[in-house]
Each structure stands twice: as structure tokens, then as C-alpha cells.
Amino acid sequence: MHDGSGRIAVQNLTKQFGAVTAVQNLSFTVEPGSVTGFLGPNGAGKTTTLRMLLGLVKPTAGTATINGRQHHELGNPARVVGSVLDNGSFHPKRTARDHLRVYAAAIGVPDQRVDELLGLVGLAPAADRKAGGFSLGMRQRLALATALLGDPQVLVLDEPANGLDPEGIAWLRNFLRSFAAQGRTVLVSSHLLSEVEQTIDQVVIVSAGMTRYYGPLENLRKSQRSRVLVQPADATGLVSALREAGFNEVEPTQDGRVAVPGATVQQIGDIAAKAGIAVYGMEEQQADLEQLFFQLTSPQYSGAPIPGVPQQQPGWGQQVPQAQYQQPGPQSGPQMQYQQPGPQSGPQAQYQQPHQQPGQQPQPNQGWGGQQQ
Ligand SMILES: Nc1ncnc2c1ncn2[C@@H]1O[C@H](COP(=O)(O)OP(=O)(O)OP(=O)(O)O)[C@@H](O)[C@H]1O
Ligand SMILES: [Mg+2]
């Protein structure tokens, strides 16, 4: 019935809702054994794409397949793909356990699996409570348990971190990584790169229904250009010396320093010494990945190339997706933003829990269970 590969393939997918083009000629593949982030701002077309993949919306053009088949061709789809698209669609009067039992019966899974999953997602203490009284985070967990009932090969989650507390997010991250480490496929959407940055290895970035970047997150990271800010005695002299040495993008900053992209402090120090210019200080700066994400997804994004990120379109269906993005317009993109190097702070810190060992099953008591009434 299907090829069993666990591969998700989205090819030239388009969805038109009347005058609104929700998804426009979108193509990417998601390989098994990896967690792929499907990222884009509100209204970018993420949910619409996932709904097409899951057979809930008919594409205007193109195809979205799992295991080489469209959703309706999968036989018993719950055994192939588990999904969470909407965490609010539970019968409010039904308990969590009864909800899972109904679904288990529908897909031919024994009741015993229901309690296993309630434990896995940390809902055991709330198993006999009615889902109508569940918090957003509890509904997310119940939805995830439902998705996992059929022990699927592929997991598709739309904004699963919404409503989760920091502990829940850390648990989800570990769970998804270990799920992928078993050779399974995970596609997880988010409108925040920082929310999933620690979880994903591949990334598909969409904006206005179009692909902006598709490839390993690592390549996107590497594409961040570092620069060195130099405090010289003679800024004009140093700019000339650096340009003569081939650093053409060098420019003075408003505070009297000189910004040098793509050079090391040693190179700059040597050039300054040779030119007889005293240097009072140098500071290395890295571009911010989040800024890069904004740049890629902002409506004003103009298709300026990102240094280090290949732009050629790979043959679709390649084993390992190559970085690529469509060129939505003429070049003249905003300048890359820079941030101080150093440890991440703020909300991101909550996702930086230690990784679970690959292949290790999440423990039932790792979740939120102890915190629930
Ligand atoms: N059933 C529908 N009828 C009309 N327009 C729709 C429908 N579903 C989605 N759209 C439109 O398609 C576009 C993409 O919406 P979609 O929900 O796929 O975005 P999203 O990336 O999931 O956004 P978010 O981050 O807010 O969840 C939006 O302009 C939305 O208004
Ligand atoms: Mg959405």
C-alpha cells in the first residue's frame, strides 16, 4: 500500500481559498530519523499545508505524501501517521481515559495502550477527569497521546508547544528527539524559531505560503556571518588598509569603530600592525539566528542571498534535503543584524534541558503528571 520509508514529501503544493493563496508552490521533504521544524509567521500557510498532508484539505495543485502515498491511500493511517492539529476537539464530558479508549477501539489498539500513553504524557493523575475541564497544556498532552495510540511511524504536530509549561516543553523536546532517534519522522510547526531551535535538525521556513529556506538548521547557523568591531587610532587608515587586503565590505561605524565582516581578529591585527595603526580593542559579533528568521519571513524580504547558504534548487526527493529557498523578489535585503556573542538568555533557557540519550524511551514520570490535580 505504501513504501514504508517514513518520508514526507510535499511537492509543488498550492492551496487557494478564494482570493487568498494560503500555500504557493511549496516543496520540501522530511526524512525519517530527524525532527524537522516547519516554521513561519502567523498566516504563513503552515496549518493549511499540514491539513493537506493529512487529507483534511484538498490541494488546489501539487501533492503531499507520506510513505509515497496520499493520506487516503494509507490503509490504516493511524498506524502510519499520528497528528495533532487541533488540541481542542475533545468531547467535553468524556474523561481523558475514555477519550483514548474510543480512539483505541476505532483503530484496533488494545485498552492497555491507553494507560501506557496516559503515563507517557504525564496525564495519569488526570485520567478520570473530564476533558472539558482541561487546561490548554493538558489538552495538548491528551492530543499527543491520541496521536501516539497507533504507534505511528510519522508524527505531525501543529504548534505543539502552545500552552505547555517549561517542564512540558522540555519533556516534549526530549520525547520528539528520542522518537526521531528510533528512525521515525517528526514534522513540527511553530511560528517561533527559538521555541523549537533546540529540538529540530532540519528546517523548512515558509512565509506567505512560499518556501524561504529548506535544509539543515546547522547550515542556517553557519550562514550567520560573524564580524569584528575594531577600535583603531586611525579609522580611515584602517579601512583603506583592510580594503587593500581584500576585505571590501569593511565600513566605519557611527561610534568611530570599524566593522569588518568575514575576518578574524588575527588577520585584522596583522593588517593594522603592517599599516602602523594602533588598535585599542576588538570585539567579535555573531549574527542572530532569530533575526535571520525575521529577515527570511518578513513581507519585505527581498531575496538577498545569505552568505554561505546555497541557493540552487535541489532535485526534489533527494535523500538529504539541501538548503534552498525561492527567490521572491529583487535583491536589496535588509542588513543582517548582529548580537553580542554569549549564552542565550530569556525564554530560550527553558528549552535547554539536557538531551535524552538517543533511543532512550521517555520515562512515564518525566512529564507533567505530578503537577496535575
Ligand atoms: N478555511 C479557510 N478559508 C479561507 N482562508 C483560509 C482558510 N484556512 C486558512 N486560510 C488562510 O490561509 C492563510 C494561511 O493560514 P494558515 O492557518 O495555514 O497559517 P499558519 O501558518 O498556520 O498561521 P498560524 O501561525 O497563525 O497558525 C491565512 O491567510 C488564512 O487566513
Ligand atoms: Mg497554524
For residue 303, is pLDDT > 50?
A: no
Give the domains, in start order, of the chain with CATH numbers. 8-221+353-371 (3.40.50.300), 225-287 (3.30.70.100)
Cα-Cα-Cα-Cα dihedral sign, residues 51, 216, 359, 367 = negative
- Which amino acid type is present at position 300? Q
Q: What are phi and psi of 164, to 5 degrees?
A: -85, 145
| Model pLDDT for residues 18-43, shown as the tens digit of each residue | 999 999 999 999 999 999 999 999 99
Task: Tell which one of 46, 84, 156, 210 to mutate to probe ligand 1, the residue whose CB is within 8 A of the most ligand atoms.
Answer: 46
Instruction: Return the pLDDT at 129.
Output: 96
48 lines ligand 1 (CB under 6 A): yes
Cα-Cα-Cα-Cα dihedral sign, residues 76, 79, 80, 84 = positive
| Model pLDDT for residues 361-373, shown as the tens digit of each residue | 333 333 333 333 3
For residue 3, is pLDDT > 60?
A: yes
For residue 147, is pLDDT > 90?
A: yes
Give, using CA atoms, the residue closest to atom 24 of ligand 1: 42
269 lines ligand 1 (CB under 6 A): no
85 lines ligand 1 (CB under 6 A): no
User: Nearest bound ligand to CA 86?
Assistant: 2
Rounded CA-CA distance 61/63 in Å is 7
366 CA → ligand 2 middle, Å:
28
Position 325 confidence tier, pLDDT thresholds 50, 70, 90: very low
Residue 308: C-alpha distances to residues 77, 217, 303, 329, 338 (Å): 40, 13, 14, 20, 16
Position 347 confidence tier, pLDDT thresholds 50, 70, 90: very low
Residue 343 CB: number of other CB atoms within 10 A? 7
Which range, of 64-68, 137-141, 268-272, averages the lowest pLDDT?
A: 137-141
Instruction: Return the pLDDT at 277.
Output: 96
Candidates 269, 263, 284; CA nearest to 232 is 269
Instruction: Return the pLDDT at 88.
Output: 62
Give, using CA atoms, the residue closest to atom 17 of ligand 1: 47
| Model pLDDT for residues 202-219, shown as the tens digit of each residue | 999 999 889 999 999 888
Note whether 96 and 129 are within 8 A (CB).
yes
For residue 182, is pLDDT > 90?
A: yes
pTM for this structure? 0.73
Instruction: Compute the CA torsion angle 151, 157, 162, 166 (nearest 10 deg).
Output: 50
Instruction: Return the pLDDT at 1.
Output: 58
Q: How many residues are listed for the chain in this entry?
A: 373
Percent of the chain with pLDDT over 70: 79
